[in-house]
Amino acid sequence: MLVIRLLLLAAALAPLAWMTPATAAACGASAEGFPAWLDAYRETATARGVSPRTLDSALGGVIYDRAIIARDRGQRVFKLSFEKFAARLVTPSRLSRGRELLRRHAGLLREIENRYGVPGPVLVSIWGLETGYGADNGHFRTTQALATLAYDCRRSAKFTDELTDALTIIERGDMTAAQMRGDWAGEIGQTQFMPSSYLAYAVDFDGDGRRDLIRSPADALASTAHYLKGKGWRPGAGWAEGEPNYAVFLEWNQAGVYARTLAYFATRLAEGQ
């Protein structure tokens, strides 16, 4: 019966997988054309099988968010030197907290490593860098952020796909539109998954029947390990720059300064065990 239900669910969601960006309205650089773009997107989504209930909950009241555009244009932090970037993020308090969490979640992290091959210090480092270990998952309305970036011409196709994936998550009941809040570019949960990564790699590791990357550290950390494994993580191999797993850090975040800082942070945590 479980297999049958999964097949029926896959069939119901299949139309969302091949949704294409809205083409009846052009992308833009101001709020003026956003309502027309959003109406066109809703029509496309409806034609592809997204329910009116999902569209109303996800896109009702959505506006062009200038704060999102400002953040998208202002990512100067990644231009810092490694020394300055790492000093800002790998603080003594964050290291201390990371070591405490490694001890507290030692059993869980062993289970995750046994399944996916990714060691605890790597997962805890990502957890710490992304949200301060779940302390700040972000407060932006995800669908509004994604719709704004999808309408913006700079990366319209990419974020239109991400918006469609966010609707898929809502449509299948993994979370409601109201629960879907995160960082400004549409990242969700304690380790900041984009909707496309959520669909591909999120797992229910705590066994409660939901893939909850917002409230469940077990689901968030295991999903992160699943992602890294899917991107080529080699169990037992090194992760410092020049070693086999460093390339997987660049899959997580393409900014070289971030990847170097993540490798440094994970090494510091591993040495402190």
Q: How many alpha carbons fall within 13 Å on the CB side of residue 208?
A: 11
Q: 100, 113, 130, 171: which one is catalytic?
A: 130
| Cβ-defined contacts of 61-64 (< 8 Å, 24+) | 62/38, 62/141, 62/143, 62/144, 62/147, 63/31, 63/34, 63/144, 64/30, 64/31, 64/34, 64/148, 64/151
Active site residue 187: no
* Three-class SS of 211-270: CCCCCCHHHHHHHHHHHHHHCCCCCCCCCCCCCCCHHHHHHHCCCHHHHHHHHHHHHHHH
Structure token digits, residue 210: 């939901």
What's the gap between Cα 248 and its chain centre? 16
Asked if residues 19 and 45 have their Cβ atoms less than 8 Å apart, the reply is: yes
Q: How far is Cα 190 from Cα 135, in angstroms, rounded to an integer?
A: 8
Structure token digits, residue 193: 């998954």
Known catalytic residues? Answer: 130
